[in-house]
Amino acid sequence: MPETYFASGQCLCGDVKYTISSPPVRMGQCHCDDCRRSSGTGHASNAFFKKNDVQIKGKTSLYDSNTDTGSIITRHFCPKCGSRLFGENSAATEIIGVTAGTLNDSHWFKANVIVYNKRKPKWDIMDDSIPTFDEMPPL
Ligand SMILES: [Zn+2]
Ligand SMILES: [Zn+2]
């Protein structure tokens, strides 16, 4: 019997691949300086899953940075092609963020929150109907 997954994805070169067994617990877009720089565009679009639901094949490189709220975000990227794949927050160790752009099929993705809107560049046009916060709202 073929295995079925909720979603799958990979980096640009294909050295890192992943499968996800269950739907996300939350989906969001972040305009903070760190997300803008690491994504190279106006925001990061992330779907957050329980870590146990995400199976990763291949090795990622890691980069740690501090957040405003005192936690550490560890961003994972492919050491060969540089694609940004995953993010982990030291304040929520059972959760992993997956960058929506690396999914093979992301038709189901719909951000239910936009954070750090005060850092949003004017040219990054967002859907007005999504709840928007100037900084990080309390979870
Ligand atoms: Zn790669
Ligand atoms: Zn951010």
Q: What is the pLDDT of residues 88-119, one digit of tens each?
A: 999 999 999 999 999 999 999 999 999 999 99
Check if the beta carbon of residue 1 is closer than 8 Å to that of residue 85.
no
What per-residue confidence (pLDDT) applies to 138?
Answer: 76
Check if the beta carbon of residue 34 is closer than 8 Å to that of residue 117.
no
pLDDT < 50 stretches in the chain: none
Domains of the chain: 7-29+44-107 (2.170.150.70)
**DSSP code of 22?**
S
Distance CA 31, CA 68 (A): 13
Which residues is 52 bridged to in the sheet? none
- What is the whole-number distance in angstroms between the Cα of residue 117 and the centre of ligand 1? 30
- What is the whole-number distance in angstroms between the Cα of residue 10 and the centre of ligand 1? 8
User: How many residues would you count in the chain?
Assistant: 139
- What is the whole-number distance in angstroms between the Cα of residue 11 and the centre of ligand 1? 4
Q: Give the ranges where the chain is alpha helix by DSSP (H).
A: 33-39
Ligand nearest to the CA of 73: 2
* C-beta atoms surrounding 27 within 10 Å: 20
